[in-house]
Amino acid sequence: MEYQHTPVLLKEVLAILQPHKGQRFIDATLGSGGYTMALAKAVGPTGLIVSFDLDPLAITNAHHQLSQKNINNVLLINDNFANLSQDLKERGIDSQFNGLVLDLGLSSAQLADTDRGFSFTQDGPLDMAFGPGSPYLTSEIVNHWTESELRRIIRDYGEEPWAGPLAKAIAKYRRRQPITRTQELVAIVEQVLPPSYVARSRHHPATKLFQALRIATNQELENLDSVLNQSLSLLCPHGRIVAVTFHSLEDRLVKHFFLRESKDCLCPPEFPVCRCGHHAQLKIVYRHPLKASEAEKAGNPRARSAKLRAASKL
**Taking Cα atoms as reference points, which of 240, 270, 243 lies closest to residue 256?**
243
Of 106-120, 146-160, 207-221, the one with minimum mean pLDDT is 106-120
Kindly state whether residues 158 and 236 are assigned to the same domain: no
pLDDT at 112: 66
Summarize pLDDT for 152-202 with one digit per residue, the tens: 999 999 999 999 999 999 999 999 999 999 999 999 999 999 999 888 888
pLDDT at 214: 94
Given 195, 218, 241, the domain boundary residue is 218
Q: Using the predicted structure, report yes or no on whether residue 119 has a pLDDT greater than 90.
A: no
Q: Is residue 115 part of a domain?
A: no
Summarize pLDDT for 269-297 with one digit per residue, the tens: 888 888 888 899 999 999 899 999 999 99
Given 165, 194, 218, the domain boundary residue is 218
31, 102 Cβ separation under 8 angstroms: no
Kindly state whether residues 146 and 157 are assigned to the same domain: yes
Q: Is residue 29 part of a domain?
A: yes
Angle between helices 34-43 and 10-17 in degrees, nearest 10: 40
The confidence band for 6, taking pLDDT boundaries of 50, 70 and 90, is confident
pLDDT at 2: 46
Q: Using the predicted structure, report yes or no on whether residue 111 has a pLDDT greater than 70.
A: no
Q: Is residue 65 part of a domain?
A: yes
Q: Using the predicted structure, report yes or no on whether residue 314 has a pLDDT greater than 70.
A: yes
pLDDT at 273: 85
pLDDT at 121: 85
Region 247-266: what's the mean pLDDT? Answer: 95
242, 99 Cβ separation under 8 angstroms: yes
Kindly state whether residues 36 and 166 are assigned to the same domain: no
Q: Using the predicted structure, report yes or no on whether residue 250 has a pLDDT greater than 90.
A: yes
Summarize pLDDT for 17-27 with one digit per residue, the tens: 999 999 999 99
Kindly state whether residues 229 and 201 are assigned to the same domain: no
Could you give the number of structural domains in the chain? 2
Summarize pLDDT for 45-100 with one digit per residue, the tens: 999 999 999 999 999 999 999 999 999 999 999 999 999 999 999 999 987 999 99
pLDDT at 71: 95
Kindly state whether residues 192 and 225 are assigned to the same domain: no
Given 169, 188, 218, the domain boundary residue is 218
Q: Is residue 56 part of a domain?
A: yes
Kindly state whether residues 243 and 274 are assigned to the same domain: yes
Region 35-54: what's the mean pLDDT? Answer: 97
Mean pLDDT rounded to a whole number for the chain: 92
Kindly state whether residues 20 and 98 are assigned to the same domain: yes
Spatial separation of the C-alpha atoms in residues 23 and 21, rounded to whole Å: 6
Kindly state whether residues 258 and 208 are assigned to the same domain: no
CATH of the domain at 88: 3.40.50.150
**Taking Cα atoms as reference points, which of 156, 270, 143 lies closest to residue 208?**
156
103, 244 Cβ separation under 8 angstroms: yes
115, 124 Cβ separation under 8 angstroms: yes
pLDDT at 1: 42
Q: pTM value? A: 0.92
Kindly state whether residues 98 and 225 are assigned to the same domain: yes
pLDDT at 187: 96
Q: Is residue 128 part of a domain?
A: no
Q: Using the predicted structure, report yes or no on whether residue 28 has a pLDDT greater than 50.
A: yes
Task: Specify the DSSP class assigned to residue 283.
Answer: E
Kindly state whether residues 241 and 154 are assigned to the same domain: no
Task: Domain of residue 22: give its range.
Answer: 10-109+220-313
